[in-house]
Amino acid sequence: MPVRIGTRGSRLARAQAERVAALLREQGSDSEIVTITTKGDTVDGVPLHEIGGQGVFVRALDDAILDGTIDAAVHSMKDIPAKRPAGLCTCAILKRDSPADFLVHSLPLDAIRVIGTTSTRRKAQLLRNMEGVSVKQLRGNVDTRLRKLAEGQYDAIVLAEAGLQRMELSVPGTRLSPLTFVPSPNQGTIAVVCRDDPSIRTMFAPLDHKQTRFDVEIERTVMEEVGGGCFTPQGIYSNQGHVVAEILSLDGTRQVWTEEELCSIEDARAFGRNLRRAGEELIREAYERLGICDEG
């Protein structure tokens, strides 16, 4: 009986699920892809923090695993919340693709005035690094965002470079260095979540990439210690344990930036606590302005 792999219905989400299915075939395992609709797919035009943050893309798939509709689900790792329901496990983390953001545009850089993104991090980094631009809210899947750009609603939009590569899309624009535009924790990484069942875990185990898992766990540990979630403009990126991280004000005018070589989860916890202390005022200010209760 084929393993049932759940995914969101967007072209990018399906491309990610199909990659996992192809890797399973190489291991001699059959699979079936099942599309699950999430609240994040049906509610458009409002900031993510108003409908529950990145976790809205994961919750419906978690529920489908737990109720037996599917056996596993494929996610962009950065969408998976820190707190997870009992009975689930992240059974595989694929080798990381590009962690970088990509600015899609056909105008010269100095002619860009209006940029679309839904991310507070991307907005703050753009305002800091690109003089004279304004940043407007942009929701929707990759195809929807590209369509809105083509219609002239924006001069440029920001997408994850990894998503463009997975969809085999070639678009004009500029790659944004992850050392300047520090990405979200786990950006560029595909994860498989499954029911905590030994037979299912064993099936997906060969897909797990140890170095990527180490970097992902370092980033998530720092993120959990910082406590800002997807609402605070923050970037955390680990490349073989070399970590760069920053917390910004919502308008990009102030930031705390740091880097360090980390060898263990204990190192990451200490690094995250130090970053939290240094950026505490920026985190509190972001939560107050967004009208969110800071529980961290």
* In the predicted structure, residue 178 carries a pLDDT above the cut 70: yes
Mean pLDDT of 248-270: 97
- Give tens-digit pLDDT for 29-71: 999 999 998 655 544 554 444 444 456 679 999 999 999 999 9
Beta-bridge mates of residue 114: 134
Q: Is 44 part of the annotated catalytic residue set? A: no
Q: Which of 92, 98, 117, 118 is nearest to 188 (CA)?
A: 98
**Rounded Cα–Cα distance for residues 128 and 144 (Å):** 26
Half-sphere exposure of 33 (CA within 13 A, CB side): 18
| Active-site option among 79, 101, 155, 215 | 79
- Give tens-digit pLDDT for 182-230: 999 999 999 999 999 999 999 999 999 999 999 999 999 999 999 865 6
Q: How far is CA 202 from CA 12, 17, 66, 217, in A?
A: 26, 18, 18, 20
**Rounded Cα–Cα distance for residues 256 and 233 (Å):** 11
With cut-offs at 50, 70 and 90, classify the pLDDT of residue 293. Answer: low
Residue with tokens 């395992």: 29
Domains and CATH numbers, the chain: 1-94+189-208 (3.40.190.10), 101-176 (3.40.190.10), 209-290 (3.30.160.40)
Determine the pLDDT at residue 84.
87
Q: What angle do CA 52, 57, 60 make, to 5 degrees?
A: 100
More confident site: 51 or 151: 151
- Give tens-digit pLDDT for 70-85: 999 999 999 898 788 9
**Rounded Cα–Cα distance for residues 141 and 152 (Å):** 17
Contacts of 141 (CB under 8 A, 6+ apart): 10, 11, 12, 41
